Structure 1
Amino acid sequence: MLYWLLKWVFVGPWLRLFFRTEVRGLENIPAEGPVVLVGNHLSFVDSIFMPLYVRRPVRFLAKSEYFTGKGLKGWFTRVMMRGTGQLPIDRSGGKASEASLNTGLRVLADGHVLALYPEGTRSPDGHLYRGRTGAARTILAAGCPVVPVAVRNTDRVMPIGSKWPRRVPLAVIAGPAMDFTRFAGMEGDRFVLRSITDEMMHALQELSGQEYRDVYASSVRRRLAVAAQG
């Protein structure tokens, strides 16, 4: 109920009115049944604008810290996270990664839409980075269709240091559905997972128009953080 109120009554209509957004290809998303949306990740607002134009509710996997904050800010963050379809997961690795996989599979087993960011973290500079294979593993285990959905210019809505959102032209573009059922039962094969991941990233690169870099975004973010400290 909270999801629909925010999307269609309290927040969504104002965002659609304020931001000029080009929307294309959403007919590629199945009207029912489980489906994984894979997207590029430019900004934290991606998880707001991408599902804003998808008719079906969209679930995301978000780090658990967003759900444990204290005070008024913590409460507001929890409400927004849950209201926009975010599900808390532990990103510490190991058994936590397995738990995250199971959370995603439960969403799909219930016939819902699950959105994943193969890059694993936001792009630090607007480029598209190498995808991690966790999304491919989920897709193979679920055996459901995959639709690439790219956003453009969301990193310009609230650049680092800005206090208020900027009104910039945005785009939400979905590509044709991708079928990886030919690899069923091969989710333990790292070469298959890498091949699927690279195919998804290529589709996102074509939709987003971003320049692709074959390194992990997290590695670049660490290097930039070290350089800023030094």
Structure 2
Amino acid sequence: MFYWLMKYIVIGPLVKAIFRPWVIGAGNIPQTGPAILASNHLSVSDSVFLPLMIERPMTFLAKAEYFTGKGLKGWATKWFMRGTGQIPIDRSGGSASEAALNTALQVLGRGDLLGIYPEGTRSPDGILYRGRTGIARMALEAKVPVVPVVMIDTDTMMPIGTSLPRVVRVGVVIGEPLDFSRYAGMENDRYILRSVTDEIMVALQRLGQQQYRDVYASSVKQQRQAGVSGAASTGGEATDTATIAAD
């Protein structure tokens, strides 16, 4: 009820009136049954516009810090996150990764739509980066299709580090569902997980025509924060589900 109120009465009409968002390919989202919506991630506002532009309710995994803030701002953030269908997960790794996976599987087990950012964090520069394999494990364990989604110009509307959005028309492009049923029973094979993840990232790159770099966005951010120049290392392979809840 709260989700419906926020989407159709409170937030939805206001956001649509101001930013006039557009959508292409909404018919590619299954009308019933569970599916993962895999999106590029340019701005915190991605988690607002995507749910508003599709008919079915959906749930995002969001970092737990959004739900634990203090004061008026903390309360408002928590209220907003709950109202837009987001649920908190711990991204610290280890057992937290398994907890995040289980939370995602519960959402899909209910027959709902789950929104995921395969890059694991917002792109620092508009480039599409290497995907984390947690999305592949979710898709194979839940036996659900993955629908590629590209957000357009949300980074122009609200760049990283800003708190107030610019009035820019943003868009959502939704591609055809990807079927990975041929890999049934292989969710513990790390090579299969990497192959599935790469296929998802290729679909996103083709759909949005973003420049692509085969390194993790988190590595690029760490190097920039440390003032290190040069190409980022891809690092070791990990099925890190928790990193899918992007900041």
In the superposition, relative to structure 1, how do residues 159 and 191 fare at CA in structure 2: closer, same or farther (>3 Å)?
same
Residue in 1 that maps onto 2:224: 224
CA distance in 1, matches of 2:213, 2:153: 18
1:72 to 2:76 alignment: no
Moved over 3 A (4+): 160-163
Matched with 1:138 is 138
- Cα distance in 2 between the residues matched to 1:136 and 1:85: 22
Whole-Å Cα distance in 2 between the matches of residues 87 and 77 of structure 1?
A: 12
Aligned twin of 1:170: 170
1:128 maps to 2:128: yes
The one-letter code sitting in structure 2 at the alignment partner of 1:7 is K
Q: Tell me how far apart the structure 1 counterparts of residues 60 and 94 of structure 2 sit (CA, whole Å).
A: 20
Alignment of 1:1-230 (within 5 A): 1-227=1-227
Distance 2:129 2:88 in 1: 24
Q: Once the 2 structures are TM-superposed, how far is the Cα of residue 82 of structure 1 from its aligned partner?
A: 0.6
Q: Give CA-to-partner distance per residue, 1:91-121, whole Å, 9 cap, x none.
A: 0001100000000000000111001111000
Deviations 1:128-186 (A, max 9, x none): 00001000000000001111111011011122454431111211010011100110110
Match of 1:165, SS? coil
CA RMSD of superposed structures (Å): 1.2
Which runs of no fewer than 5 residues in structure 1 stay unpaired? none
Cα separation, 1, equivalents of 2:140 and 2:188: 10
Secondary structure of 1:11's partner? helix
Aligned length: 228
CA drift of 1:193 comes to: 0.6
For residue 179 of structure 1, give the secondary structure of its aligned residue in structure 2.
coil
Distance 2:80 2:204 in 1: 27
Question: Which deviates the most, 155-164 or 25-34?
Answer: 155-164
Aligned residues with identical type, % of pairs: 60
Give the CA deviation at 1:22. Answer: 2.6
8 Å contact kept, 2:43–2:160:
no
CA distance in 2, matches of 1:108, 1:117: 16
Whole-angstrom CA distance in 1 between matches of 2:159 and 2:57: 27
1:73 deviates by: 1.1
Contact 2:124 2:160 in 1 (8 A): no
* Residue identity opposite 1:166 in structure 2: R
CA offset at residue 16 of structure 1?
Answer: 1.1
Distance 2:190 2:158 in 1: 37
Question: For structure 1, which segment, 160-169 or 43-52, has the greater mean C-alpha deviation from structure 2 after superposition?
Answer: 160-169
- Structure 1 CA distance for aligned equivalents of residues 208 and 168 of structure 2: 16
Rounded Cα–Cα distance in structure 2 between residues aligned with 1:128 and 1:134: 17
The one-letter code of the counterpart of 1:191 is Y
Distance in 2 separating the partners of 1:105 and 1:178: 18
Normalization by structure 1: what TM-score?
0.96
